[in-house]
Amino acid sequence: MTLPTHADIARRSNTFVFGKGPQTLLCAHGFCSQQRMFRHQVRDFHFRATHRIVTYDLAGFGQSDPQLWSAQRHARLEGYAEDMLRLIDELDLHDITLLGASMSAMVGVLAALQRPERFKALVFIGASPRYLDDGAYIGGFRQADVDAFYDLVRLQHDWAAALSSMMLNQPASWALHDVIDDISAVRVDVVRVVARAIFQSDYRSLLAQVRQPVLITQTCADRVVPVSVGHYLQQTLPKAQLTFMPGAGHLPNFTEPDVFNHTLRTFLASVEAMNSSSLTQ
């Protein structure tokens, strides 16, 4: 699909549209990543037949316009939600199922709460509404942990290796070197600002307001998001189902694509069945 001439944010976000289906899969990658992390979903002929698949690079990452990123606007995830909504408007996207990886899961929540009529369902990949521990809530990190990471970034000392280890939690095979390359390519000033936007955020109070069906996916060996967070999301979101993927790491759609795609197809079919049932009642 050729982007409309007025689609400024879409062009600056290096947006691609694949497939010709009547519905939309909007793929939003995570921290220090880029849209190629969804290549196994883009290549799936089933998804191409039933959906338009939209991929883009978030501000500050991948091949997005460097001038699109703002240290002020993107110091909170709300800035990324604004970008997502502008892209949705420019491309006139409807019946959206969002594939939100890591930080983009909560970006999707923010966008869906503002424009619920555009979103049909949400799919979380390694999502967390809060990364820091808080009383009985186990987010997986103490403030001292993230402060240590901030120091690595500030000193420009092995921060990329530390982040790669957290995200993969397994030896880096040839196929996983894309993840390492994507992390290493990000500007340090972007990492410094967006890391704080993520690790200091707390969106737990918004979860009960989400009305779309949500599929929560993560591995049981994710050093960024412990299994307790997946269970918390399932218990707090009104219409959620939780599926643990095999393998390890923070990117199951990329590292376990066959299982992830099968799970996604099953979820999309269940959403269609629910919608058909509600129309006949």
User: Cα separation of 181 and 231, whole Å?
Assistant: 32
Per-residue H/E/C for the chain: CCCCCCCHHHHHCCCEEECCCCEEEEEECCCCCCHHHHHHHHCCHHHHHHEEEEEECCCCCCCCCHHHCCCCHHHCHHHHHHHHHHHHHHHCCCCEEEEEECHHHHHHHHHHHHCHHHEEEEEEECCCCCCECECCECCCECHHHHHHHHHHHHHCCCHHHHHHHHHHCCCCCHHHHHHHHHHHCCCHHHHHHHHHHHHCCCCHHHHHHCCCCEEEEEECCCCCCCHHHHHHHHHHCCCEEEEEECCCCCCHHHHCHHHHHHHHHHHHHHHHHHHHHHHHC
Q: Left if phi > 0, otherwise alpha if psi is -120 to 50, otherwise beta: which for 158?
A: left
> Hey, which residues are catalytic here?
102, 222, 250
Interatomic CA distance for residues 72 and 194, integer angstroms: 10
